[in-house]
Chains A and B, each alone.
Chain A
Amino acid sequence: MAMNNSILIIGYPKSGKSTFIAQFFTRIKKRKSSIKLAKIPENIKAITDTVKRLSMGEEPTTTSADENVELLLHINVDGENADLVCPDYGGEQVNNITDLMEINEHWHNLLNSYDRWFLFIRAHEITPEYDLSISSYEEIIKEKSTVLKVPGLSEQSKFIELLQSLLHIKNKGLKKQVVTPTLSIILTCWDELKNKAKPVQVLQEKLPMLLHFVESIWEKKSFEIYGLSAQEFSLNTPEAKEKYQNELPENFGYMIDPTGKKDKDITKIVKASLQL
C-alpha cells in the first residue's frame, strides 16, 4: 500500500508541540514558506493562546495536560496535499498509553491512517542517572533492600514503550525493517542544549538505547532526527520580549537538519518528512 502524506504529531506533555505548531501555522499563513494552507482550518483553538502570547512576546503557557483539543491542518507542499494532525496538545493521551498500556479508539484510527510520525522530545530535560556501570566508585556502601520498589518507567524506556506500542497498534511487526510509518524524531528546545552536535549525536548522548532501538527497527531511509528551536530563545527578559514584539514571532526559530546545519525555515521539517 502506498504511503500517504498524513503527519501525526506525538509527544509527551511539555515537549514543545504547541510552540512548533503555532510558529509553523503563523509562517504558512504569512506565506513565508513553500508550504501553504490548502484550506483554512475549521478550528484553531488548540493554538490560539500560544500564537497570541508569542505575538505579545510572552512565553507560551504549558498546555494543560488533559486538554484534548485537536488541530488538523490541510497543507500544500510544492503542489502536493498533506495533512498534519496534533490530536493531543496536552500529551495526556500519550501519557495514558505508556502508563495504562491502553490506546483509545481515536488514536487507534489516527495511527492506522497516518503514515508519517513526528515524535517530539525535549532533550535538555533528560538528565543522566548515575549507576554502577558509569562511575568507578571504590567506596560504595552496599545495602540490601528489603522491599521491592517499583520505580515507574524512565524517560528512555517510556519512549521505547511508546514506539513499540504504536507500531503494534498499526500492526507493524518487528521482524522486517519498518518502512511505513516513517519517523521524524524532533529534538525540541534546541537552544537549551549546551552540546551543539548533530541531532543524532545529541540523541546518542541523551537516550542511546532509544536511538539503538530506532536504528534496529526502522529502515535507514525511513527515519530522521532533527533539532528544533521553534522560539529561538527564552522570553523571560524584557529585551527578548521587546524583540519578539518588534520583529514578529514568525521571524524567530530555527531547525537543525540531520547534518547539523542550521536553517531559519522551521517548516522544512515538515517538507523533509515527506521525502522519507
Chain B
Amino acid sequence: MRKKCSKPDCPAPKGLCIEQLSNDFPKCQNWLGTLGDQSVEKQKRVNIKSQTLPWTGEPFQPSDIEIVSQRSVPLIIGMVGSAEAGKTSYLGMLYTLLFNGFIFEDWSFAGSCTLSGWETLAQYLKIKPDGNVEFAPTTPANPDYYSLYHLALKRGDLFRDVLFADSSGEVFNLWAEDVKDQNAENARWIYEKSNAFIFMVDSMALIERSGAAKNEIMQMAEQVAANLKGRPVVVVWAKADVIDKIRENIKIALSEDLSQVFGDSQIFEVSNFSKTDPDILCHKNNLAVTEYLLTQLNEPKVIKLVPQISSVDLFLNYRGVYGNE
C-alpha cells in the first residue's frame, strides 16, 4: 500500500512515527494519507479477499531485498559522495532518461519494484510552468535512512536485479573521517554490501570551495579505496556543465590523486542540463555510468595478482616486465 509521511526521514508506516514515536502515524500532521483511502473503505465493505503484492513501489529498505533476491542475486551499486554532490539527482536523471525513451546500449529495462520511489526522484528534474526547477531536498542524515532503488535489467538471456543504494552525503562525510562513527551506520552498510560504487565528485563544490572541497573528496576516496577488494568504482564528475570553471590546477591535482587512489577506474562527466539534443553529458553519460558498471560486474573475473606496493624505493615498486600490462 502506498502510504507516506511528508517528513523524509520518518520511517512510518514501516516504523514508528518520528514525531509521535508511536504507531499512530495517521494522526500526525506530516502524514500524507493514502491515495485511495476511500477505496480501501469501499473494498473492505465489499469484503473480497485480496492479495497484497510483495513490493509497494517505494524505495527498498535492506529487509526488502529478499523480494528480488529469490529470483537472482541482486547487484548493489553504492552511491558515494559528499552532501549535495548530486547522488540523488543522478538517480533521478537515470530514471528520467529511461522514462523518456533513452536506453542502455546492451541492457533493456524489465521493470522495477520501486517505481513510486523513482518517480519521486524524477519529479525534481521537471520544469515547472514558471520555468523553475525545484531540486530534491537534501537526503536525510539519519543513520537509519536507507533508500534502495530497483531496476530489473536484461541483456539477452541474462537477467539482473540492480539496486542503487542512496544515502545522505553528510553521513558519508562522517564515515570518511571515522569509518566506525556511530552516526554512519547506513554508509557502513552501503560500503560493505555494494558490489560496485559510483563515486561522485561535485564540480560546483570545487568551484566554490576549491582546496577544501578537494580534501574532502580525497578523504572519502581514500576511505572507499581502502577495502575495495576488487569491486569496481566509477568516478563521476557531477554538474560537469560547469567543470571548466574549476581552477585548472585543482582539477588536475584532483584527477591525479583520484587516479592514484582508484587506479584505472573509468571517469565520466555528467550533467542534468541538456544543452543540445542529444547531449553527451546528460543523455549519454548518465546512462553510460551505470552501463559501465553493469558490464564490469557481469564479465568473467580476471584476478590480478600484482601486489599494490607504493614506496619511494624503486626496487620495491618494480613489478616485473608484466607489471604494467
Give me the interface of A with B, judged by CB distance under 8 Å.
66, 92, 95-96, 99-106, 108, 129-154, 156-157, 160-161, 164-165, 168-169, 173-175, 204, 208-209, 212-213, 215-217
Question: Which residues of B have CB within 8 Å of A213?
Answer: 109-111
Judging by beta carbons under 8 Å apart, are B152 and A174 in contact?
Answer: yes
| Shortest Cβ distance from B100 into A: residue | A133
Measured CB to CB, the closest approach of chain A to B148, in angstroms, equals 16
Query: Residue B116 contacts which of A137, A144, A150 (CB distance < 8 angstroms)?
Result: A150
- Most chain B beta carbons < 10 A, residue from A133, A215, A217: A133
Judging by beta carbons under 8 Å apart, are A105 and B111 in contact?
Answer: no
Q: Which of B44-52, B190-198, B258-266 contacts A (4 or more CB under 8 A)?
A: B44-52
Measured CB to CB, the closest approach of chain A to B108, in angstroms, equals 4
Cβ contacts A to B, 10 pairs, < 8 Å: A92-B39, A102-B50, A133-B282, A136-B275, A140-B131, A140-B273, A144-B134, A150-B4, A174-B152, A208-B100
Would you list the 10 A-B pairs with minimal beta carbon distance, nearest first?
A208-B101, A216-B108, A148-B8, A99-B36, A104-B48, A102-B50, A157-B115, A105-B49, A175-B159, A101-B53
Q: Known: A101-B1, A131-B96. Contact between A151 and B131, CB under 8 A?
A: no
Query: Residue B122 contacts which of A130, A131, A134, A138 (CB distance < 8 angstroms)?
Result: A131
Q: How large is the interface on B (under 10, 10 to 19, 20 to 34, 35 or more residues)?
A: 35 or more
| Shortest Cβ distance from B110 into A: residue | A216
Measured CB to CB, the closest approach of chain A to B88, in angstroms, equals 11
Judging by beta carbons under 8 Å apart, are A105 and B123 in contact?
Answer: no
Question: Which residues of A have CB within 8 Å of B199?
Answer: none
Judging by beta carbons under 8 Å apart, are A216 and B109 in contact?
Answer: yes
| Shortest Cβ distance from B51 into A: residue | A103
Question: Which residues of A have CB within 8 Å of B131?
Answer: 137, 139-141
Question: Which residues of A have CB within 8 Å of B275?
Answer: 136, 138
Judging by beta carbons under 8 Å apart, are B111 and A164 in contact?
Answer: yes
Question: Which residues of B have CB within 8 Å of A140?
Answer: 127, 131-133, 273
Question: Which residues of A have CB within 8 Å of B138?
Answer: 144
> What's the Cα separation between A217 and B152 when bound, in Å?
10
> What's the Cα separation between A133 and B125 when bound, in Å?
8
- Most chain B beta carbons < 10 A, residue from A102, A106, A156: A102
Question: Is B126 an interface position by the 8 A CB rule?
Answer: yes
Measured CB to CB, the closest approach of chain B to A130, in angstroms, equals 5
> What's the Cα separation between A164 and B6 when bound, in Å?
27
Measured CB to CB, the closest approach of chain B to A254, in angstroms, equals 28
Q: Known: A95-B36, A102-B1, A104-B48. Contact between A145 and B53, CB under 8 A?
A: no
1/0 contact string of B10-28 vs chain A (CB within 8 Å):
0000000000000000000
> What's the Cα separation between A150 and B110 when bound, in Å?
24
Judging by beta carbons under 8 Å apart, are B127 and A153 in contact?
Answer: no
Judging by beta carbons under 8 Å apart, are A145 and B124 in contact?
Answer: yes
Judging by beta carbons under 8 Å apart, are B137 and A145 in contact?
Answer: yes
Question: Is B63 an interface position by the 8 A CB rule?
Answer: no
Judging by beta carbons under 8 Å apart, are B6 and A151 in contact?
Answer: no
Question: Which residues of B have CB within 8 Å of A137?
Answer: 127, 131, 273
Question: Which residues of B have CB within 8 Å of A101?
Answer: 1-2, 52-53, 55-57
| Shortest Cβ distance from B84 into A: residue | A144
Question: Is B272 an interface position by the 8 A CB rule?
Answer: yes
> What's the Cα separation between A175 and B159 when bound, in Å?
6
Q: Known: A139-B131, A140-B131. Contact between A146 and B49, CB under 8 A?
A: no
Judging by beta carbons under 8 Å apart, are B126 and A131 in contact?
Answer: yes
Q: Known: A129-B126, A168-B53, A173-B71. Contact between A142 and B111, CB under 8 A?
A: no
Measured CB to CB, the closest approach of chain B to A56, in angstroms, equals 32
> What's the Cα separation between A175 and B73 when bound, in Å?
13
Question: Which residues of B have CB within 8 Å of A104?
Answer: 43, 48-51
Query: Residue A144 contacts which of B36, B135, B154, B276 (CB distance < 8 angstroms)?
Result: B135
Question: Is B42 an interface position by the 8 A CB rule?
Answer: yes
Interface residues of B in 263-320 (CB under 8 A from A): 272-277, 279, 282-283
Measured CB to CB, the closest approach of chain B to A22, in angstroms, equals 26
Judging by beta carbons under 8 Å apart, are A143 and B134 in contact?
Answer: yes
Q: Known: A101-B55, A153-B57. Contact between A175 and B2, CB under 8 A?
A: no
> What's the Cα separation between A145 and B28 when bound, in Å?
21
